Amino acid sequence: MHPFENPFRHGAEAKRHALRHFRATLFDMDGVVTDTARVHAQAWKELFDAVLEQIAGSAQPEFTDSDYLSYVDGRPREEGVRSLLAARSLQVPEGTHDDGPDELTIHGLAARKQGFFEAVLDRDGVVVFDTAAQLISQFSAEGIPTALVTSSRNGREVLRRAGLIDAFDVIVDGTDAQQLGLGGKPKPDMFLYAADQLGVEPQDSIVVEDAVSGVQAARSGNFGMVVGVDHGEDAPRLKRSGADVVVSDLAAAKLQTRTTRPFDPLWVLAYDSFEPEEESTREVLFHMANGYWGTRASYPGTVADATHYQGNYIAGVFNRLTTDLMGKSVETEHMVNIP
Q: What's the rounded Cα separation, in Å, for the pair 225 and 204?
A: 8
Q: pLDDT value at position 20?
A: 60
Of 63 and 334, the structure prediction assigns the larger pLDDT to 63
Inter-residue contact 63 to 49 (CB < 8 Å): yes
pLDDT in tens, 97-110: 999 999 999 999 99
30 is known as an active-site residue: yes
Q: Is 90 exceeded by the pLDDT of residue 234? A: no
Q: pLDDT value at position 80?
A: 93
Inter-residue contact 204 to 172 (CB < 8 Å): no
Q: Reduced to 3 states, what is the DSSP secondary structure of residue 210?
A: coil
Residues near 120 by Cβ (< 8 Å), separated by ≥ 6? 39, 42, 43, 46
pTM equals 0.68
Query: Domains in the chain, start-ordered, CATH in brackets?
Result: 21-34+126-257 (3.40.50.1000), 37-124 (no CATH), 269-335 (no CATH)
CB count, 10 Å around CB of 160?
12
Of 179 and 261, the structure prediction assigns the larger pLDDT to 179
Q: Is 90 exceeded by the pLDDT of residue 326? A: no
- pLDDT tier at 266, thresholds 50, 70, 90: confident
Least confident among 19-28, 198-207, 263-272, 306-315: 263-272
28 is known as an active-site residue: yes
The DSSP letter of residue 184 is: P
Please identify which of the residues 28, 35, 210, 234 carries the catalytic annotation.
28
Inter-residue contact 84 to 110 (CB < 8 Å): no
- pLDDT tier at 299, thresholds 50, 70, 90: confident
- Residue percentage of the chain with pLDDT more than 90: 63
